[in-house]
Structure 1
């Protein structure tokens, strides 16, 4: 290529990068020119380079930054860019040299061991400290509507889709479809159900005839504030429903499984500090996880555990409900966390602890809950194998070069009380005894608390963090104090047990907790077993259920 062609090529390359907000270092520009010459009619070298930098705070990509991207290094790119600028200005180079040294590591030894038990926090809520106004609540519900409406908009069943304001103008019994949020629910004297639906343009009424049994059942289970799609006949300011759709989890045909042997186990609701805490049962669990109890096969399983999820309510807390002090053996919240940390510290350090808070932990109940507060739970923070996440959150586990890993959705389950008692289909099929039905109910609505009254919440004006935007591979919860395991559309549903015997409150409410059960999932076969540590001491090994 002659001089003029080279100048033109440089302009084209610089322009392409500038459109992406990137500047090229001189040495990388020269390298890209050589690649362009070698690949004139071949692959798009520049396009590949731009793709590599997407999602990373890189302003001036160079050979060092690309090397770190190729090696999949987890780098604070803003700090790296600052350190590089400092060196270019002839100032301190120590920080930049540490980055380069880190990039040169080959990933063997400790790095390889870390890869096997890899935990990546995919979605952790970042709290915004600000005064909340009425407008924040309006923006919050609009953001929820937009997220869920986008999931429904392209459904083929919703033909002739229009806004509610347009639908209200229809007079001639026309087939139409709308998407809206449920504002009100009522039953006519004839036993038909009427839902009042709203979208940003207005409201309308939708009638579900009791003679259409399947459709009527869907309407019965509808809760206020969920977003649904309706297809039916519009006539005189009312729509006669023929079809109702929810955002729903798509049907997943791929049963994701790890290429390597390994296990994940799921704990929740320890309630350390309560008079009803079960120290002997938890000690039996610790014996098993350390390979000191159980049959040979159970010990072998324990040796292969890689991840332990602790899904909220690590402690019983203080002042959670009236006269709680009468139910506490440890009345200081700091000491409760110290005791909990002492127990968790006995778990082998090779096993990652993924911990989210619950409604009994020392923090706000409003969701999403941030990570455990460091001032109260400093002992938990100091555990070397702990990964602290928000409630809810998504983490990715067990990924490798040949496997994308499992995306695990953690949610303690504070909203579950509402659905166990207020949704007819759940209540008559077991209520509190069927966490799996509640989890399925929430996945269908793509929201962890679709009825606003089912939980306390923080009105984020940008988005509703309780919307299930990313489809998980595993959905794990707690709160119900009863272990469960199920599969819905190839998503593994796991409800954690508890380590607290039945309380006076649970007795009054008619709850039936099953404590000291541990669900354990084989990440290679997807098989789930439940170990029971509630048996008396005469039993030398946990019992499999």
Structure 2
């Protein structure tokens, strides 16, 4: 077999097709090893090789491919080359992880084997004052405030709800996101909708509105209905503007966006869609201490599918009883553990669940969880938020557990209990501001997998990074009101992402994924439960017993497998 054929064969085995133009030049054999770090790469050509060989950035190859295909269709590669240059100039550094662009980390994993000598390897792949009911709520002041500070947790106060409570959520959402969008250059001359409706002449205009409706014309164009406190207006997105049309297809109802375009008779012809998003200059912070933080979720104690053996192996590693010297050193330096919900399997969560329960009493489930978690060394601080399987109400924000159902959770001195969602600050010192960690279990994820085509068609439940990027871009954890049950008793929308986090942590989908978006490390925890009958029917493929680990000094990320 000649070198070219062998190269094509090696690439094909890695799921990568080789473009003919690449074979006309001398191929560097080292490219094969570098491809291991580019998990989304489907086609390899000369342009892509140049980007990979520079070793300066990890790229969203799906996005690059969109521009490449459009260039081939239109026989005009100017836009493609322009975007390619942008990607080449990315500041996402492989060897120094002070990156600001998107990094997907899901290709390399390390198996945990107490008899092995391997080292863990890196996975390559509210500034405003808060209303009184959003202020920090510390349920148990157990911890040194210098180690963990609760930035945002919620107190739900039951009352009789009226329509005004719901409208207040949407109005507060609009006001905050409008403030972010007005800072964008494209929206400097934003006009209220009632003024736009009175315009008769064609003119360049901009508006900010909440998406009330999305419909499609017979010719395939999109009609958006946007509203603000002054009125409603139609916005037309034509399918001939392919880039804009692709962005518009990702819109969901109830999100707040900016639109620029040309005014018509009670209609806007859109030429750009602007999201609140994360600033491009968002700082990627690093601690001055060699400390680690690990992330768990979806433990599901009480299920007969709970992976107790693997979880106990994890606990032994935390206690320095398993692993080689390097692994034990990492375990010793773990300072923080975040658990993003579903501590137990609960009762009556899905049809036929009782048949899959080993422990059929909710209090006993929490007792068993406590028996496991108290084996974690007391010098490691644990932050826990609830999930949809836990014994709290489903409406978000979910309360931070209830002593009547989970009394044992309140007994451990190194445990901090917060609501879902919540934000905590860890690692703060006199010279370092600490890391803001946003915890959200992820109950809204199901909706966006089902309703956003770009997420569904590019991995769905296996691509938590796409879902989390989608939410960060909108600065909201559940922009569509239907995507998760709401607790309406707050003066301000509690699911807004007001303060930019350093870490965005979730669970729910039982599939670990780590990525970076504009300096924010997004982490979806794994699970500790084998596939259930319900997941089998839904077509879910869980990936259990994986533990994401972050070095807070370097921001390097590792995943350790215990199965």
Q: How would you bin the TM-score normalised by the shorter chain? A: 0.7 to 0.9
The structure with the largest helix share of the pair is 1
- Counterpart position of 2:561: 532
- Cα shift at 1:323: 2.9
- Cα shift at 1:211: 1.2
1:99-118 correspondence to structure 2 within 5 Å: 114=144, 118=147
- Distance in 2, Cα, partners of 1:502 & 1:323: 14
1:126 aligns with 2:155: yes
- Distance in 1, Cα, partners of 2:282 & 2:368: 44
- Counterpart position of 1:382: 411
Aligned residues: 427
1:330 aligns with 2:359: yes
Tell me the secondary structure at the aligned position of residue 399 of structure 2.
Answer: coil
- Cα shift at 1:252: 3.2
From 508, 511, 516, the equivalent of 2:537 is 508
- Distance in 2, Cα, partners of 1:271 & 1:290: 22
Tell me the secondary structure at the aligned position of residue 509 of structure 2.
Answer: coil
Conserved in 2, the CA contact under 8 Å of 1:357 and 1:391? yes
Taking a change above 3 Å as real, the CA distance of residues 473 and 195 of structure 1, as seen in their structure-2 partners, is: same
1:391 aligns with 2:420: yes
- Distance in 1, Cα, partners of 2:205 & 2:188: 7
- Cα shift at 1:295: 1.1
Conserved in 2, the CA contact under 8 Å of 1:182 and 1:224? yes
1:192 aligns with 2:221: yes
- Distance in 2, Cα, partners of 1:148 & 1:158: 13
- Cα shift at 1:411: 0.2
From 448, 457, 460, the equivalent of 1:428 is 457
Conserved in 1, the CA contact under 8 Å of 2:206 and 2:258? yes
- Distance in 1, Cα, partners of 2:284 & 2:497: 20
Conserved in 1, the CA contact under 8 Å of 2:181 and 2:276? yes
Tell me the secondary structure at the aligned position of residue 279 of structure 2.
Answer: coil
From 339, 346, 351, the equivalent of 1:317 is 346
Deviation sequence 1:415-465 (CA, Å, 0-9, x none) = 000111210010111000000110000000000000111100011351000
- Distance in 2, Cα, partners of 1:210 & 1:383: 58
1:457 aligns with 2:486: yes
Deviates more, 1:447-456 or 1:458-467: 458-467
1:109-188 correspondence to structure 2 within 5 Å: 114=144, 118-188=147-217
Conserved in 2, the CA contact under 8 Å of 1:143 and 1:461? no
From 246, 250, 255, the equivalent of 1:226 is 255
- Distance in 1, Cα, partners of 2:228 & 2:392: 35
1:29-428 correspondence to structure 2 within 5 Å: 114=144, 118-428=147-457
Deviation sequence 1:363-393 (CA, Å, 0-9, x none) = 1111000101111111011111100001000
Higher relative contact order at CA 8 Å, sep ≥6: structure 1 or structure 2?
2
Listed as ranges, the gaps of 5+ residues in structure 1 are 1-53, 58-73, 77-109, 535-545
CA RMSD of aligned residues (A): 1.8
Tell me the secondary structure at the aligned position of residue 467 of structure 2.
Answer: helix
1:482 aligns with 2:518: no
Conserved in 1, the CA contact under 8 Å of 2:182 and 2:188? no
Tell me the secondary structure at the aligned position of residue 507 of structure 1.
Answer: helix
- Distance in 2, Cα, partners of 1:172 & 1:330: 69
- Distance in 1, Cα, partners of 2:263 & 2:284: 42
- Cα shift at 1:410: 0.3
Listed as ranges, the gaps of 5+ residues in structure 2 are 1-128
- Distance in 2, Cα, partners of 1:183 & 1:255: 35
Deviates more, 1:387-396 or 1:134-143: 134-143
Tell me the secondary structure at the aligned position of residue 432 of structure 1.
Answer: helix
- Cα shift at 1:314: 0.2
- Counterpart position of 2:522: 493
- Cα shift at 1:154: 2.3
Conserved in 2, the CA contact under 8 Å of 1:140 and 1:464? yes
Deviation sequence 1:26-65 (CA, Å, 0-9, x none) = xxxxxxxxxxxxxxxxxxxxxxxxxxxx99x9xxxxxxxx
- Cα shift at 1:322: 2.8
- Distance in 2, Cα, partners of 1:172 & 1:253: 40
Tell me the secondary structure at the aligned position of residue 157 of structure 1.
Answer: helix
Conserved in 1, the CA contact under 8 Å of 2:514 and 2:522? yes
- Distance in 2, Cα, partners of 1:139 & 1:527: 41
Aligned structure 1 segments of 4 or more residues deviating by more than 6 angstroms: none
1:4-43 correspondence to structure 2 within 5 Å: none
The TM-score with structure 1 as length reference comes to 0.76
- Distance in 2, Cα, partners of 1:332 & 1:342: 15
- Distance in 1, Cα, partners of 2:490 & 2:368: 38
Tell me the secondary structure at the aligned position of residue 186 of structure 2.
Answer: coil
- Distance in 2, Cα, partners of 1:193 & 1:253: 33
- Cα shift at 1:214: 1.4
